[in-house]
Amino acid sequence: MTQQVKRAFKYRFYPTEEQASQLLRTFGCVRLVYNKALEERTRAWYGEQRRISYAESSAALTEWKKAEKLAFLAEVSSVPLQQALRHLQTAFGNFFAKRAKYPRYKSRKKSRASAEYTRSAFKWHGRQLTLAKMTEPLDIRWWRPLPEGAVPTTVTVSRDAAGRWFVSLLCDDRIAPAPATTNAVGIDAGITSLVTLSTGEKIANPKHERRDRARLAKAQRELSRKAKGSANREKARRKAAKVHARIADRRRDFLHKLTTRLVRENQTVVIEDLTVRNLLKNGKLARAVSDASWTELRSILEYKCAWYGRELVVIDRWFPSSKLCGNCGTVREKLPLNVREWTCDCGTVHDRDVNAARNILAAGLAASACGDGVRPQRESSRTGRSSAKQEPQRATAGIPRL
């Protein structure tokens, strides 16, 4: 049975000078409105212990446009400005619900330059998209078709650090579930091997950042030599950003191909709940962990499993998958990272990663059967012992991210 989902289709486009100028002004106005509204909300909260609603922020925006110093806000479409206020409202909602930290100001240099247009702020005629305040449609490179009869409900225009322009079209799409299968797979994420499967297969880490490290280092050296604020520094910055963009594009392409294969071949996919943020605190491993991009791998698996009718099981991060003997169930006290193969007291010789993947699969299938996950008992660090199993904990299922 097919399901209807909201799906974004992202394309690159090449604006004219007039369109680029208009979009850059819009980006600046969106950032200004967001920061100004955040400033007002912060002042009201810390000064008066009062919350400002979206309606009050929207009314304030109308007054800002009437001010002589902010009259330029009326030169761009009002819809992206209203959307910026809605995004800020969502950010505060997440903060008060303790799902996120306090909203931060948007930086001109570090924040993503983007503007969101709803249906009233653009014209759509087949494959032609014309934004508000523009007379000509965008020159979009349609590298893949939209769903038949799809009409975008929201359009997001953005420009990355490398100067490339993108437009993302949010459309309704119907996705058919993948053919049912009885296969299940456990996945152990690593650095040398990006993932090791419970079948024994190891998928090598492409190490995209390392392959372009020399080119990136050269671009960054050239950037450091340029005078701040000069045109040559901007050229050098964009050159370094293009190397970063190339690395990110290749990494994302590889992860999409890998996750698509895993979802198509298996009905149940089991992974670990890794705390990548803590792993990045290790100075020796941070660069390799970042290049592996485990967080993006999990995010893609989550929405693809949800779309195609697969089950994603996430086991507890403290489950001793590497130190647990899959044959006799003994948990080894210590297993340093440099030990890639070890022998249990029962005589079984284990490949560290393959054994971990098989243990992850077994724990995931048990969690799927009873609706609970597995979490080991963490003993006091003073004992020097490794973790043992603890009471079951609810496993988390995949949630689509659009």
Active site residues: 188, 272, 353
**Both tokens of residue 402?**
């659009």
Quick check: 319 and 329 in contact, CB under 8 A?
no
Please tell me what DSSP assigns to residue 327. Answer: T
**Both tokens of residue 130?**
């014309």
Quick check: 96 and 45 in contact, CB under 8 A?
no
**Both tokens of residue 347?**
């005589």
What is the rounded CA–CA span in Å between residue 340 and residue 273? 21
Block residue for tokens 């709940």? 273
Helix (H), strand (E), coil (C) string for 373-386: ECCEECCCHHHCCC
Element (H, E) at 20: helix 17-48
Instruction: Please name which of 253, 275, 246, 254 lies closest in space to residue 195, comparing C-alpha atoms.
Output: 254
Instruction: Please name which of 309, 325, 229, 299 lies closest in space to residue 267, comparing C-alpha atoms.
Output: 309
Quick check: 197 and 44 in contact, CB under 8 A?
no
Q: How many Cβ atoms from other residues are within 10 Å of residue 212's Cβ? A: 16
Which residue type sits at 373? G
**DSSP-derived pairing of the beta strands 268-272 and 311-315:** parallel
How long a stretch of residues is the chain?
Answer: 402
Element (H, E) at 193: strand 193-197
